[in-house]
Amino acid sequence: MQTLRTIEELEQLGLVVPEPRLVAAADGMAIAITPEMVALIDRSNLARDPIARQFVPSAAETEVAPEELGDPIGDEARSPLKGIVHRYPDRVLLKPLHVCPVYCRFCFRRERVGPGGERLSADELSAALAYIRERPRIWEVILTGGDPLMLSPRRMGALIRALDAIAHVGVIRVHSRVPIVDPSRVTDELVTALKPERAVLWLGVHCNHARELTRSARLALAKLADAGVPLLGQTVLLAGVNDDVDTLEALMRALVTARVKPYYLHHPDLVRGTGHFRVSIERGQALMKALRGRLSGLAQPTYVLDVPGGHGKVPIGPGYLGDDPGALVVEDAFGGRHSYPSR
């Protein structure tokens, strides 16, 4: 089976029943569902299946709320040139391409990824690298997109070497869905390409449900971990996918046992047509409180909100301290309350 890319292919497999709003949703964002993800979909319960919900277009995508944005995290406001987003003094995003192995229907860059969003040209990439080279305060470069691991090993290797040659770049971070949704791309050649000689490389893995950690995905992650690549987990809190404590607990445990450290739990962004995925911050905080009593610190992600307008991420996890500094009360992970000296 090839990657599914059209409404007709989804219909043939019984994943959708075409109707005008669904066709409009598919026209609004590219479709791509890899065979690995198709195999995980429970077709007997499509309406509730957490894998289908992430990748199969929905008529609900045509419903756009007034507060939803085309650029919800403000990439454009912080983009001094094509391929670069510079939001913090010490780090930049470098987006070498805008294609992905799958297209998540909640994607905060859903209006920019897909066909037509291919690689930066040689001149555009040279300009982006020059921007980084000319700014000594840049210590970390985050490769994102699109999915950087859609680059060939040869191109990825060349990009890693170019960044490694910039003396003030100490960390290269790669954000990818590939090890989860298309693990066959994690070849020995790719792993070799991901090894800078001087800088340190970290790989952020996007995974939203424990079922995504198939045997093939675990083998791909093991290949990276065995090669010395540190792995971080990034998860988006999504209604109907993982917005209950049992599901989140299972996911965080599965990530840790795959040698992936849970890093961020992202509150869903104000992306146009994604209201059906969003939960309240209050709900997210309650889930994080419940996780605190169930999981060790090793398995705890930081719950974050990306502030609209390009202002960056902030932690929005629950608080455990009372409001009165003169009579400080600490709430433990199980809801008990305890006094503590304020000085």
Q: Where are the beta strands (DSSP E) in 113-199?
A: 140-143, 171-176
> How does residue 325 score in pLDDT terms, banded at 50, 70 and 90?
low
Does residue 278 register a pLDDT over 90? Answer: yes
Question: Full-prediction pTM beyond 0.95?
Answer: no
Catalytic annotation on 133?
no
Catalytic annotation on 107?
yes
How many whole angstroms separate alpha carbon 26 and alpha carbon 201?
Answer: 36
Q: Which of 87, 185, 218, 289 is catalytic?
A: 87
How many whole angstroms separate alpha carbon 302 and alpha carbon 134?
Answer: 32
Q: Which of 95, 109, 211, 272 is catalytic?
A: 109
Give the lowest-confidence range in 33-42, 62-71, 273-282: 62-71
Q: Which of 104, 110, 147, 177 is catalytic?
A: 104
Q: Which two tokens stand for residue 273?
A: 């047509």
Catalytic annotation on 215?
no
What is the distance between the terminal CA atoms of the chain, rounded to a whole angstrom?
A: 64
Residue boundaries of the structural domains of the chain: 71-314
Percent of the chain exceeding pLDDT 70 equals 95
Averaged pLDDT, 83-107: 95
Averaged pLDDT, 64-68: 92
Looking at CATH, the fold of the domain delimited by 71-314 is given as TIM Barrel (3.20.20)
Catalytic annotation on 104?
yes
Catalytic annotation on 207?
no
Q: Which two tokens stand for residue 114?
A: 């897909």
Catalytic annotation on 264?
no
Quick one: 280 exposed, middle or buried, by C-beta within 10 A (0-12, 13-18, 19+)?
Answer: exposed
Longest dimension (CA), the chain: 67
CB 281 within 8 A of CB 287: no
Q: Which of 75, 147, 243, 269 is catalytic?
A: 269
Task: State residue 115's pLDDT score.
Answer: 67
In 3D space, the residue among 109, 80, 77, 92 whose CA is nearest the CA of residue 172 turns out to be 92
How many whole angstroms separate alpha carbon 61 and alpha carbon 22?
Answer: 8
Catalytic annotation on 313?
yes
